[in-house]
Structures are given as C-alpha cells and as structure tokens.
Structure 1
Amino acid sequence: MSRMSKLKKLAGLSAFAFAAMTAVNSVHAANWRYAHEEYEGDVQDVFAYKFKEYIEENSDHTLQIYRFGELGESDDIMEQTQAGILNFVNQSPGFTGALIPEAQIFFIPYLMPTDMNTVIKFFRESEAINEDFPELYADKGLELLKMYPEGEMVVTVDEPVTKPEDFNNKKIRVMTNPLLSETYAAFGATPTPLPWGEVYGALQTNMIQGQENPIFWIESGGLYEVSPNLVFTSHGWFTTAMMANKSFYEDLAPQDKELVQMAADYAFEEIIKHIDGLADEALAKIQKASDEVTVTRLNDEQIAAFKERAPQVEKKFIEMTGESGKELLNQFKEDLKEVQSN
C-alpha cells in the first residue's frame, strides 16, 4: 500500500471515529420532559425554569416544560410521570396525599410556623423532609429531588371570617386530599373537593363560598375577583415537591444524577430568593385591581379559637397513616422544635 493510500485510510478511520464519537454524544444528549401545576411566572414555573437553566447550561441535555393544563390536571401529570411519559413532575402534597398518605402532614393546621425565615430553615435542615420523605416517595416509584415552600396559605371567602362559627354552612373548596377536608370540617366549614380548573366558576356561581391558596396564586388566578374577602388565618404554608420518575433517575449515568441534584439545589436557592416579598407584591396588585377586596388578619385570640380544633386533625392523620405517620409526625415536631429553638 502506498504512503498516500495509508494516509487516506487513516484519514478515513479518523473521520469514522469522529463521526462515531459524535453519534454517541448525541445519543447521550436527551430532551427531558417536566410538568408542573401552575401558570407562567408562578412559583413552580420559576423553579422549573431555574432547573432548566442549570441543566442546559451545564450539559447537552434540553428540558421541555409543561405548565398547568397543557397535559391535564395534577392527577394526570402524576400518572404520566409514574408511567415514564414525563421525566420530572412538580406536585404539591395536597394531590400527592392520595398516593402517599403521609404527605398530608403539611395540612395539619398550625403545625408549621408562618415566619418565613423559620420555614426556610426547617426545609433546609429537617430530617423528616430530607431523609424520611425521600423513602416514602421511592416506594411509589418517585425520586424526591426537592421539597420547598411557596407561601403562607390565605383563605378567600364570600364574607370576612374571624371565628370558626363564621365558616358554618360555607362550602370551602379543597384539593382532593382527605386530611385537608378534615381540617375545614374541624374549622366548621363544609369541605368540597374540586379540581383546580373548576374553582373560579364555582366561586362565581356560589356553588362554593371559599377556597385557600397562597396569595400569589389568588392574584394570578384572579380568584379575588369572585371571592374578594381575604383571611390570613396563619394555619400553614403551601408546600410543594419536585420529583423524578425513579426508573428514569436510576438509569441515569452518575454524572447526570449529579447534574440533576445540582440543578434541584440551584433551583431551590433561587426560589427562596424569589418568594421573599412575593406575598406583599401580590397583595398590593390585588388591592390595586379591586376596591371590593377586604383583608382580615386574625389576632392571637382569634387564632387560638381555630388552634383549639387542630388536635382532631392531627388525630385523624395518625388514623390515616398508622405507625409510619405517627413516627413522621414526631420527627416533624422534633425538627421544628430544634429549628425554632435555634
């Protein structure tokens, strides 16, 4: 073989090797799918896009994000994640509670503090959040990547509420969550489970007389337009969870697992900055948009009347979840006590 022929052959082999390497890299570069429960610009949407930003800036992977309604309701996107159609999902324990009963712990009223600094410290340091919950989610085929708070829960009603008796004969919309229903029954209301897509119309037609959500969601969803009396009861924070299909996650290469974990950590830190002051901004927008809105902040004496009814919800939680729920609740309280004492 002539020297020129050898060079041509080597060049051909090099080109083939380069093409093969490129093909391998393109196979490893994936387009992942992620769905959440909120609208453009809401907290879960911001979290998702921060996660996407980190993934795409630090790998060849791309991430497709689907907002509320694009792939159905909350139950739909969870089913799609468990089936492997979606790789990632963001869903609040309000809906996950039917799948993972222990996740309903966030709906025990007055268990969680409402001071933002304490809440964030709890999510960072809690053993229940960071060690116990991942095991519970894993049993359902889900890799729990991050739990994070969105905002203090606010109740909107057809008239101002200052005591449990004011809830009598009022239908309050709740997520499809047995313990949340128990909470509003304890408060004196008639809990009415409804999917999110039906809430605005139900309030508008007086099919229901109230609902609860973080204030930014009340603003972005326009709920104040049809339910203008905002009541700050201090009974808890809205919590959500971002997770992956477990089989998908376990099949990832080690470097991709690390990438996903780093992206979730990055999105968490960014969302904590995002929610700081968000409630005040949302309330200001609501008050600017409507003269009919009233704001009621319960004082300590008024809160005490609602707190007196919380133990029956805690008792129901233990009945629903058994020994595992009781252990989780004890750990939860221990974690909160440690955070608050520090």
Structure 2
Amino acid sequence: MSTQSKFRKLAAISAFAVGAATLASSVSADTWRYAHEEYEGDVQDVFAMKFKEYVEDNSDHSVQVYRFGELGESSDIMEQTLAGILQFVNQSPGFTGSLIPEAQIFFIPYLLPTDMDTVVEFFRESEAINEMFPKLYAEHGLKLLQMYPEGEMVVTADEPITSPADFEGKKIRVMTNPLLSATYNAFGATPTPLPWGEVYGALQTNMINGQENPIFWIESGGLYEVSPNLTFTGHGWFTTAMMANLDFYQGLSEEDQKLVQDGADYAFEKILVHIDGLAEEALEKIKKASDEVTVTRLTEEQIDKFQARAPQVKEKFIEMTGESGKELLSQFEEDLKEVQADK
C-alpha cells in the first residue's frame, strides 16, 4: 500500500473506532484488546504480535491487536485504555508525557547515547526505568509492563541540517509534548505539534519544513518522499512503553499477572533482536527508493554546537516536573554512568 493510500485509509477506518469501542464491552473477558501507534510490521506491531504469540501459546486467552488509526490517534487509544475499553496500550513518552510529565525525560537531547549496546544495557539495568517509572505510571492508572528502545532519532527536512543556524525559520513537527517543543526551540527551530495522521500532508504542502523519527518509521511512513534530507544528529533514541489498565491488571489472577509480565518480557527480548540492524536496512530501502534523498551524519564538532544547547532543556524538564523529575533525572544519569563504566 502506498503512503498516501495509508493516509486515505485513515478516513475510512476512523469511523470504525466508535463501533469498535462499543463492541469491546461485549467481548468475553478472555479476549484482551491491545492497541499501538504503528503500522503492520513496524516495531510496536512486532512487539504486540510477540506478546500475543506468548499469551496464546501459554493460555486459553486471546489478544486482539489494533494498529495505528484503527481506534484513532495516540490520545484516543490512551483514553480507551484508561477507560478500560482496551486492556493494553503501547505508547511513546512523546504522547504519554502529557499525562505523566516525568516521561518526557527521554526528550532531553544528548541524555541517552546512540550506540545500541549501551542503550539496551541501560534499559535492562536502569533503576529509573525498572523501579521508578512503574510507580509513576501506577499513579495514573497504568501498569507499566515494559519500556524499550525503537531506534535512533533522525531529523528530516527540506534541506540538510548541519548547525542550529540551519533550523532558523523552520517549522519542525513535534509530538504533543512540551519538552520536545523546548528541545527544538533550543535547537533554533519553530516546533509545531501535530498528530501523526497529519504529518505527511503537512510536509507535502510545506505547512511544516521537517520532523524527527527513527529511520524505520521514516521509511515505513514514506516521509522521505516529502522530506528527503535526512540528518543524524545523535541527540537521542525513540523510546516506547507497553502498559496495561491498572484496574484490569490488578483484577487478574496471580497466574494471569505472571502470564502478562512473562509475555511482555518475551516480546522485549524478541524486539531487541528485531531492531538490531533495522536502521541500516531501512536506510538502504530509502536510498533505493529515491535518488533525491541526502544523508548527513554530523561530525563531533557539529554535534557540540547542538549539545551546548541541551542544558536549557534539562532545566526546563526540572521546571516542568519538580522534585520528582529532579530525582528521576539524577537516577537516570547515575544509571547511565554505571552502564557506560562497564563498557
């Protein structure tokens, strides 16, 4: 299916969301509903299908997976999860940050390194990830089952970006996330929040000049067709999280709670294998599909100019989140130091 066809399809399937939500309440309790933010075959979809595989292979339960657009945008599927219509949701902190401000920590530029081994070890071992975040999510009615990385963030724009000066006057699409807006303000751009369904058209009509996403999503969504200049800025990884409605999870038997957690752990291990080499594969597909694409990898000197602007975003994060954010950031940085010391 072409990229434009995907977006045209959204108009038809959005009408399905209301009907599906009504139908959901009548489905038997052993059919669990799980929605995510990506297309068939993308990282979140692979994770969801591996979770489904584990649950269905190890119990009598079944899992119904809904992909991007089938039940609305990211905000819609979170609302449905909190309302108990959905049992599980996969959503990035880019959107969850409006509900849980501390989740925006992943959008502090140059906080996370970009080499995969360090990133994976951090997600496995981090006290901030595995102990502090679950408590924060529980306060908002969510059981955090797994956080995992999807890929290094890459900027696409109407021309190559090599310095903050190149961002001046450019409208860069961001998720509806205040700290991500602060990042692009710091970088010199004009951050423009847009839901995902509007991004391709906005790039095509020059309503915006660029956006950021992991490279597999740039390929899957066809963003390189309308925003062909790719820049690897080294400023972070795209992170996402699988969650359950907390009341639903707490109402499960101990056996089913273990099934759910084991299924999430199984999917986590499978997704780490899946994303290894995925960025390189996606970039090759993009290069083969278009001769208009340019690829810019910033030098250390060029990165330094962007990195010098990161502290103001860190200060903004603390301002937004208060003492809890300050404690989380401190633990986050300590965890990173421990992981990097072991390398």
Do both share a fold (TM > 0.5)? yes
Matched with 1:276 is: 276
CA distance in structure 2 between the aligned counterparts of 1:151 and 1:39, rounded to whole angstroms: 16
Task: Tell me if 1:182 matches 2:182.
Answer: yes
* 1:237 Cα offset (Å): 0.0
- AA in 1 matched with 2:117: N
* 1:163 Cα offset (Å): 0.4
- TM-score normalized with structure 1 length: 0.92
* 1:28 Cα offset (Å): 9.1
CA distance in structure 1 between the aligned counterparts of 2:217 and 2:307, rounded to whole angstroms: 25
The answer to whether the 8 A contact 1:34-1:66 is kept is yes
Q: Secondary structure at the match of 2:155?
A: strand
CA distance in structure 1 between the aligned counterparts of 2:163 and 2:114, rounded to whole angstroms: 19
Q: Secondary structure at the match of 2:33?
A: strand
Equivalence map 1:20-99=2 (5 Å): 30-99=30-99
- AA in 2 matched with 1:46: V
* 1:52 Cα offset (Å): 0.1
CA distance in structure 1 between the aligned counterparts of 2:279 and 2:217, rounded to whole angstroms: 10
| Two-structure CA RMSD over aligned residues (Å) | 0.9
* 1:229 Cα offset (Å): 0.1
CA distance in structure 2 between the aligned counterparts of 1:299 and 1:278, rounded to whole angstroms: 23
- AA in 2 matched with 1:81: T
Q: Secondary structure at the match of 1:227?
A: coil
Task: Tell me if 1:264 matches 2:254.
Answer: no
Equivalence map 1:1-342=2 (5 Å): 30-342=30-342
* 1:29 Cα offset (Å): 6.9
Q: Secondary structure at the match of 1:256?
A: helix
Which consecutive residues of structure 2, in runs of 5 or more, have no partner in the other structure?
1-26
The answer to whether the 8 A contact 1:29-1:60 is kept is no
CA distance in structure 2 between the aligned counterparts of 1:177 and 1:29, rounded to whole angstroms: 34
1:267-313 Cα offsets, whole Å, 9 max, x none, are: 00000000000000000000000000000000000000000000000
Count of paired positions: 316
- AA in 1 matched with 2:107: F
Which consecutive residues of structure 1, in runs of 5 or more, have no partner in the other structure?
1-26
The answer to whether the 8 A contact 1:187-1:306 is kept is yes
CA distance in structure 2 between the aligned counterparts of 1:60 and 1:95, rounded to whole angstroms: 33
- AA in 2 matched with 1:257: Q
Which runs of structure 1 show a deviation greater than 2 angstroms over 4 or more consecutive aligned residues?
none
CA distance in structure 1 between the aligned counterparts of 2:287 and 2:213, rounded to whole angstroms: 17
1:236-266 Cα offsets, whole Å, 9 max, x none, are: 0000000000000000000000000100000
The answer to whether the 8 A contact 1:163-1:302 is kept is yes
- AA in 2 matched with 1:189: A
CA distance in structure 1 between the aligned counterparts of 2:35 and 2:218, rounded to whole angstroms: 21
- AA in 2 matched with 1:99: L
Larger Rg: 1
Q: Secondary structure at the match of 2:60?
A: coil
Q: Provide the identity percentage.
A: 80
Q: Secondary structure at the match of 1:160?
A: coil
- AA in 2 matched with 1:157: A
CA distance in structure 2 between the aligned counterparts of 1:130 and 1:83, rounded to whole angstroms: 25
CA distance in structure 2 between the aligned counterparts of 1:204 and 1:243, rounded to whole angstroms: 34
1:8-36 Cα offsets, whole Å, 9 max, x none, are: xxxxxxxxxxxxxxxxxxx9970000000
CA distance in structure 2 between the aligned counterparts of 1:134 and 1:151, rounded to whole angstroms: 22
